[in-house]
């Protein structure tokens, strides 16, 4: 594999950065490439190797990354070129409204976008064109409008194809828990303004009933599709110790409304524990007539009280507490924030690792009683360090806060928002 040179920030094989040097054989070629296998745009190579003699080893795949995008001794300050559309969601919504409601042309829409910059100085205009959050080039605006036209008029484009897939294939199988098309005329604080698709199936819902009794994990990813639309994943741990999916959600924005919808629909469709139950379900249209949701009749018989592990994303915490009111932080983010605090407090480097290790040993105790027993030892350790009294006071006193932590069969976790650890 090799780098495609996107972003206009890589050194070409000929030596140029972001473009060919004068006299290069590829300079006059389309995209500066001889063919699809030409690796002229960047020197980075990723080589993966698997040998039959090593196939039975735990890690048989060997990956090597050769070279770099730019030389380490490069002196040129280079600003990467933005290739994809980077407009904010609000600006995109305004463009779509102007196109669909008023049938404005690219030129008219661009003029309206520039209206807010009347009287602005040259430096402000250059900055707006550079970050491309409020303005963009005419060519990118035209392509965006053409793409939206295809989605709404010609039944083409990814969202229109997905709409067909949802209604004609996934819905009859019962795999769609919730589907809502956005209503751009709704308030920005209304859940009706956002696109939301929540997917699951009978096996995943059964796993939620069997394994999702104590703890589930919730997180979103943005780099799984070309539109950078957030994909929400809700997972849990099965009896074999492996992660198993429960729900996947796709939306046009990650916030407390879209996340809350996904969790609420999972809760409303978890199967009951009665082995004789048929687990009947049906679909009902949304009140705004923009979509539908699945209702499982026996879900109301399921008492779903558990912990939800999240990252530091505040909207995710708000959304989770609207559904189950029991959130915990994963240990990665707990230790990451604790490390950031040690850095902000300017704790000496040689002491940061011992403090963090002692903190984690007490925090991951297997019971509240053990945490209480280790808490005073942690405080004694902190007081013995050669640091100022101010730093000792800032360091969390586990002997006083550890007993407030929540321990379950899955292990102990701290509530980051209600103690001094974070």
Encode pLDDT of 203-216 as tens digits. Answer: 999 998 888 888 89
277 and 190 in one domain? Answer: yes
Number of residues in the chain:
422
310 and 370 in one domain? Answer: no
Q: Residue 247 phi/psi, 5° resolution? A: -150, 145
- Is residue 162 included in any domain, yes or no? no
Q: Residue 329: name the closest of 411, 414, 254, 390 by CA.
A: 414
CB of 371 closer than 8 Å to CB of 412: yes
346 and 249 in one domain? Answer: no
- Is residue 158 included in any domain, yes or no? no
Q: C-alpha angle 126/129/132, rounded to 5°?
A: 145
- Range in 121-135, 143-157, 244-258, 262-276 with the lowest mean pLDDT: 143-157
Residue 90 burial by CB count (10 A; 0-12/13-18/19+): exposed, middle or buried? exposed
- Quote the pLDDT of residue 405: 39
223 and 198 in one domain? Answer: yes
Q: Which region, left, alpha or beta, applies to residue 100 given φ > 0 means left and ψ of -120 to 50 means alpha?
A: alpha
- Is residue 169 included in any domain, yes or no? no
- Is residue 412 included in any domain, yes or no? yes
For residues 302 and 319, give the distance between their C-alpha atoms in angstroms, rounded to a whole number. Answer: 20
Of 327, 351, 382, which residue constitutes the final position of a domain?
Answer: 327
CB of 218 closer than 8 Å to CB of 263: yes
pTM of the shown model: 0.55
For residues 166 and 61, give the distance between their C-alpha atoms in angstroms, rounded to a whole number. Answer: 37
Share of the chain above pLDDT 70, in %: 86
Is the pLDDT confidence value at 151 over 60?
Answer: yes
- Is residue 288 included in any domain, yes or no? yes
123 and 183 in one domain? Answer: no
- Is residue 166 included in any domain, yes or no? no
265 and 141 in one domain? Answer: no
Q: Residue 362: name the closest of 377, 349, 351, 383 by CA.
A: 377
* pLDDT 10s digits, 334-359: 888 888 888 888 888 888 889 988 88
322 and 258 in one domain? Answer: yes
147 and 10 in one domain? Answer: no
Residue 284 burial by CB count (10 A; 0-12/13-18/19+): exposed, middle or buried? exposed
- Quote the pLDDT of residue 175: 94
H/E segment holding residue 45:
strand 45-50
Domain that holds residue 178: 174-327
Concatenating the DSSP letter of every residue in 242-292 gives: -EEEEEEEEESS-SHHHHHHHHHHHHTT---S-TT----EEEEE-TTSSEE
334 and 301 in one domain? Answer: no
Any residues with CB less than 8 A from the CB of 58 and at least 6 apart, and which?
none
- Is residue 196 included in any domain, yes or no? yes
For residues 285 and 196, give the distance between their C-alpha atoms in angstroms, rounded to a whole number. Answer: 14
Of 30, 57, 81, which residue constitutes the final position of a domain?
Answer: 81
Mean of the pLDDT values across residues 64-75? Answer: 76
Three-class SS state of 164: helix
111 and 51 in one domain? Answer: no
For residues 21 and 328, give the distance between their C-alpha atoms in angstroms, rounded to a whole number. Answer: 54
* pLDDT 10s digits, 258-315: 888 888 899 889 888 888 888 899 999 999 888 999 999 888 777 777 788 888 777 8
For residues 252 and 227, give the distance between their C-alpha atoms in angstroms, rounded to a whole number. Answer: 9
352 and 238 in one domain? Answer: no
Tokens of residue 98, six digits? 């102007």
Q: Residue 359 phi/psi, 5° resolution? A: -60, -45
Tokens of residue 309, six digits? 């592990």
CB of 286 closer than 8 Å to CB of 178: no
What's the number of domains the chain is made of? 4
Of 56, 81, 106, which residue constitutes the final position of a domain?
Answer: 81
* pLDDT 10s digits, 4-41: 776 667 888 888 887 888 888 888 887 788 876 788 88
Query: In the predicted model, what is the mean pLDDT of the chain?
Result: 80
- Is residue 161 included in any domain, yes or no? no
264 and 183 in one domain? Answer: yes
């Amino acid at each position: 594999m090799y780098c495609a040179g996107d972003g206009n920030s890589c050194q070409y094989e000929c030596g140029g950065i972001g473009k060919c040097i004068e006299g290069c054989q590829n300079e006059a070629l389309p995209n500066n490439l001889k063919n699809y296998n030409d690796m002229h745009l960047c020197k980075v190579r990723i080589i993966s190797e698997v040998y039959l003699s090593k196939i039975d080893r735990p890690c048989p795949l060997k990956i090597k990354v050769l070279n770099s995008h730019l030389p380490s001794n490069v002196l040129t300050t280079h600003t990467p070129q933005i290739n994809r559309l980077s407009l904010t969601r609000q600006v995109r919504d305004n463009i779509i409204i102007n196109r669909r409601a008023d049938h404005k042309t690219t030129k008219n829409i661009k003029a309206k976008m520039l209206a807010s910059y009347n009287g602005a100085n040259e430096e402000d205009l250059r900055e707006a064109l550079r970050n491309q959050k409020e303005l963009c080039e005419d060519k990118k605006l035209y392509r965006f409008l053409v793409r939206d036209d295809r989605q709404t008029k010609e039944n083409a484009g990814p969202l229109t194809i997905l709409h067909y897939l949802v209604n004609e294939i996934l819905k009859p199988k019962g795999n769609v828990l919730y589907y809502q098309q956005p209503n751009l005329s709704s308030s920005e604080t209304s859940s009706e303004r956002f696109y939301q698709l929540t997917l699951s199936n009978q096996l995943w819902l059964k796993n939620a009933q069997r394994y999702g009794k104590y703890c589930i994990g919730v997180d979103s990813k943005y780099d799984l599709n070309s539109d950078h639309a957030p994909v929400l994943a809700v997972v849990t741990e099965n009896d074999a110790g492996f992660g198993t999916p429960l729900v996947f959600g796709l939306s046009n924005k990650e916030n407390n409304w879209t996340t809350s919808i996904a969790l609420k629909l999972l809760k409303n469709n978890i199967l009951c524990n009665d082995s004789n139950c048929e687990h009947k379900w049906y679909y009902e249209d949304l009140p705004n007539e923009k979509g539908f949701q699945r209702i499982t009749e026996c879900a109301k018989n399921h008492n779903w009280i558990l912990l939800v592990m999240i990252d530091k994303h505040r909207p995710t915490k708000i959304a989770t507490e609207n559904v189950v009111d029991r959130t915990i932080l994963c240990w990665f983010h707990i230790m990451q924030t604790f490390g950031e605090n040690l850095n902000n407090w300017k704790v000496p480097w040689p002491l940061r690792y011992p403090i963090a290790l002692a903190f984690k040993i007490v925090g991951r105790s297997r019971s509240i009683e053990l945490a209480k027993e280790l808490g005073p030892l942690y405080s004694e350790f902190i007081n013995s360090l050669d640091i100022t009294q101010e730093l000792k006071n800032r360091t969390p006193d586990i002997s006083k806060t550890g007993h407030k932590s929540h321990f379950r069969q899955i292990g102990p976790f701290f509530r980051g928002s209600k103690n001094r650890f974070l």
